[in-house]
Amino acid sequence: MGSDFGPGSELVVHIDHSDIHEGSRDDLKDGIRRLVAFIESREPQLMSYGFHLDEELGHMTVVAVHPDSESLELHVEVGVPEFRKLADMITLRKIEVYGSISYRARVLLEQKALLLGPAGVTVEERFSGFARPAAVGRV
């Protein structure tokens, strides 16, 4: 059972939890589509980026998987102008990070939390595990 991940396998999972403001669902969906297209075109290193909506409860969860802390830093830097466009439609409640991140990444996340809501930022470093290359083309 290895505790070493080896070079290039320092995955970082970043999860945002937000409340959706009443009456903004349709505008938010349009904003999400624009944000996803923007991020996809500017962050080729980002491994996964998904928005999950619970419309009945008015909650939104965003999950991003980064290859490393530098990717998370870039994501927040590039995304802030676009995140700001969603600020009137959501209240960010919590940011969770799983994996090792730099001090700079933590500061950027705390700034994002202030921009979008009264969110707290928690970071849990990886203790043990492994990462596998993507199963591209597998059935």
Average of per-residue pLDDT values in the chain: 90
> How many angstroms separate the CA atoms of 114 and 118, rounded?
6
Asked if pLDDT for residue 135 goes beyond 60, the answer is: no
Q: How far is CA 117 from the centre of its chain?
A: 15
Return the number of other C-beta atoms located less than 10 Å from residue 32's C-beta. 17
pLDDT for position 139: 47
Residue range 72-119, pLDDT digits in tens: 999 999 999 999 999 999 999 999 999 999 999 999 999 999 999 999
* Secondary-structure class of domain 12-124 per CATH: alpha beta
DSSP string, 80-125: HHHHHTTTTTEEEEEEEEES---HHHHHHHHHHHHHHSS-EEEEE-
Contact 31, 85 (CB under 8 A): yes
Q: Where are the domains of the chain?
A: 12-124
pLDDT tens digit string along 12-54? 999 999 999 999 999 999 999 999 999 999 999 999 999 999 9
